[in-house]
Amino acid sequence: MSSELKDMNGKPINKIAMMALLLIGSFVIILMQTSLGTALPSLMTAFNVDSAGVQWLTTIFLMVNGIMVPVSAFLNTRVPTKYLYLSALLIYIIGTVIAVVTPTNAFWLLMVARALQAVAAGIVMPLMQVVALALFGEESRGKALGMVGLVIGMAPALGPTLSGWILDQDHTFLGLTIAGNWRSIFMLVLPIAIVVLLISFIYFKNILPTRDVKLNVRSLIESTFGFGLILFGSAMVSDHGWMSFTWVILPMLLGLLVIAEFAWHQSRMKVPFLDLSVFKNRQFTITTILVSLTFIAMIGVEMVLPIYMQRVRGLSPLNSGLTLLPGALMMGALSPLAGYLYDKHGARRLVIFGFSLVFIGTVPFYKLTETTPTIFITTLYMLRMAGIALTMMPLTSSAMGVLRQNQVAQGTAVNNTIRQVAASLGTAVLSSIMQSVINDHTPTSSLKIKDPLEYAQQMLNAGLSGFHASFLCAAGFVLVAFILAFFLHKGKVTAAEPEEEKA
């Protein structure tokens, strides 16, 4: 047996307590990634914003989270483990408090709160993996990563249902009655985060070595503005249309120029902020694109479906969350199986089959009506998430498998960054398409006075047309991914294969 585990100061570590604090705190933080999904219609009413506007609460979370991924690699190296984790918890608590007290005439403040929560999530997700591997030896590594995977998989899966349950009724907590509204989503997780923070002062230790490295501020600014401008332009489509030069075309062009300069700057750096040379590897590039398309198909539909179920079907937030829960649990259950199958057969056949399931589970959404049975929606969603489970892990493993050992850390950062930004961009595109079609089909206000029933029917049809267009676009992303999957290697791939070393 190995000797007692000690921190960087030679003091013993209670690794069970430290791991428990890490998992609980990370669970609470990552839960916020999807918890607002079923609350979006309530937030639209409370803040008087449209579907494209409210989607920014998800978009900004994903974007900031994506920006934080390469920064977290720097932070893990530069900042002692204990203080980094405590800082993440504190940032999360501050963001959550701001969300609770945000007045309904200050939607921008709620976006600030979401951005702060995303900063915390961007720190703890990679930190959780690194610390888990440091806490447990080689013989327990699978168990450690299994616990990490449980948090990463189950927190987003439970988010929509938990928020639906919170919104559906009042709750009594520590003798206090908390009304079932969108603020309750933040209020009920806040005490847990505070308790974890206080206990972490005692039990969380500095376990990772640190080095005196410098953050390249220029690269951080360029990546933030580049991706941010592209995202802003796509989000403005719903209000101004695709041909708006000022609000759509110009921001996206400027974003592309900034990203091009960012890429050129990285190629000139001895130690890049984000090593884009990994894209010289053809298989890494294909798998990264496929992972991005998978996230667009998953996150985009996850944001649109609750709005359809509540606005068109009239389901409560709880019932709309329960409708999606089996699919989320399906993804969590099949992910380990996908890893086993990848080890046996590689990614190509598994990914092709997975995207087939996602496509089959997405196309019927194009025919959703106001009377579509919820069991039909649940079944399709389960089919989609089963397909995503069979593609996500094999693609990520394949992307890392083709890189040399000294490229894996940067490759992980690049893959995660592109994936998160693609999810943000995809969410903005799908929601903007939906809102644009709704705007185009919305009846004139005069009809509301002349024939209220006809006005209501046309508004319902306009909403359905918007949802149909969004789902059709998602199916298009999946079809592109399905075709691209045929260019993957057969069987498992390794960095040692000569073909993979070609630029």
The band of 358, judged by pLDDT with boundaries at 50, 70 and 90, is very high
Whether 233 and 281 map to the same domain: the answer is: no
Decide if pLDDT at 387 tops 80. Answer: yes
* Helix, strand, or coil (residue 88): helix
**168 and 206 belong to one structural domain:** yes
Considering its fold, how many domains does the chain have in total? 3
Find, among 75, 5, 12, the residue nearest to 203 by Cα: 12
Question: With contact defined as beta carbons under 8 Å apart, do 87 and 79 qualify?
Answer: yes
| pLDDT above 70 coverage of the chain, percent | 83
Where is average pLDDT lowest: 150-164, 319-333, 432-446?
150-164
Same domain, 492 and 374: yes
Q: Which residue has the higher pLDDT, 357 or 183?
A: 357
The string of pLDDT tens digits covering residues 432-454 is: 788 778 878 888 877 777 877 88
pLDDT of 199 over the 90 cut: yes
pLDDT of res. 500: 43
Given this model, what pLDDT does residue 225 score?
83
From 418, 417, 58, 424, select the one nearest 233 (Cα to Cα): 424
Q: Which of 268, 284, 310 is the last residue of a domain?
A: 268
Query: Which of 12-26, 49-63, 106-120 tops mean pLDDT?
Result: 106-120
Q: What is the β-pairing status of strands 171-173 and 176-178?
A: antiparallel
- The closest of 33, 67, 251 to 156, measured between CA atoms, is 33
Q: Are both 404 and 363 inside the same structural domain?
A: yes
pLDDT at 2 over 50: no
Same domain flag for 164 and 221: no
Q: Could you tell me which residues come within 8 angstroms of residue 414 by beta carbon, excluding any fewer than 6 positions away? A: 70, 274, 275, 276, 278, 279, 288
Predicted confidence at residue 497, as pLDDT, reads: 46
| pLDDT, tens digit, 9 for 90 and up, residues 177-197 | 555 578 888 888 899 999 999
- The residue with greater pLDDT, 483 or 178, is 483
What helix, strand, coil percent values describe the chain, rounded to 5? 80, 0, 20
Residue 90, pLDDT above cutoff 90: yes
Counting every residue, how long is the chain?
503
- pLDDT of residue 490 exceeding 50, the answer is yes
**Closest by Cα among 296, 331, 298, 326 to 161:** 326
Residues 205 and 336 in one domain: no
- pLDDT for the residue numbered 346: 77
Name which of 3-7, 69-73, 438-442, 489-493 the model is least confident about: 3-7
Which of 39 and 378 is assigned the larger pLDDT?
378
End-to-end CA distance of the chain: 45
**pLDDT attached to residue 39:** 79
Full domain range(s) for residue 289: 275-503
- Are residue 176 and residue 102 in the same domain, yes or no? yes
pLDDT tens digits, one per residue of 36-88: 877 777 888 888 887 767 878 877 887 787 677 777 777 877 888 889 999 99
**Higher-scoring residue by pLDDT: 350, 331:** 350
242 pLDDT above the threshold of 70: no
* pLDDT score for 60: 81
Whether 150 contacts 158, CB under 8 Å: no
pLDDT of residue 498: 39
When mean pLDDT is compared across 114-118, 247-251, 301-305, 399-403, the lowest value belongs to: 399-403
Cβ contacts of 164-168, under 8 Å, gap ≥ 24: 164/38, 164/316, 164/317, 164/318, 164/319, 164/320, 164/321, 164/322, 165/318, 165/321, 167/38, 167/39, 167/42, 167/316, 167/317, 167/318, 168/316, 168/317, 168/318
CA angle 119, 115, 191 (to 5 degrees): 75
What phi-psi label fits residue 212: left (phi over 0), alpha (psi between -120 and 50 degrees) or beta?
Answer: beta
**What's the mean per-residue pLDDT of the chain?**
79
Q: Which helix (H) or strand (E) holds 2?
A: none
**Which tens digits make up the pLDDT trace of 285-307?**
888 889 888 878 777 777 778 77
Q: What local confidence, expressed as pLDDT, does residue 50 receive?
A: 79
Residues 156 and 242 placed together within one structural domain of the fold: no
Residue 382 sits in a domain whose CATH number is 1.20.1250.20
Q: Are residues 221 and 359 in the same domain?
A: no
Same domain, 384 and 245: no
* pLDDT band at residue 146 using 50, 70 and 90 as cut-offs: low
Which amino acid, 254? L
Assess whether pLDDT exceeds 80 at residue 143.
no
Of the pLDDT bands very low, low, confident and very high (cuts 50, 70, 90), residue 254 is very high
Q: Do 104 and 170 fall into the same domain?
A: yes
The whole-number pLDDT of residue 196 equals 93
Answer yes or no: is pLDDT of 154 > 50: yes
Of 27-31, 242-246, 425-429, the range with the highest mean pLDDT is 27-31
Pair 155, 242 in one domain: no
Nearest residue to 440 via CA among 237, 234, 297? 237
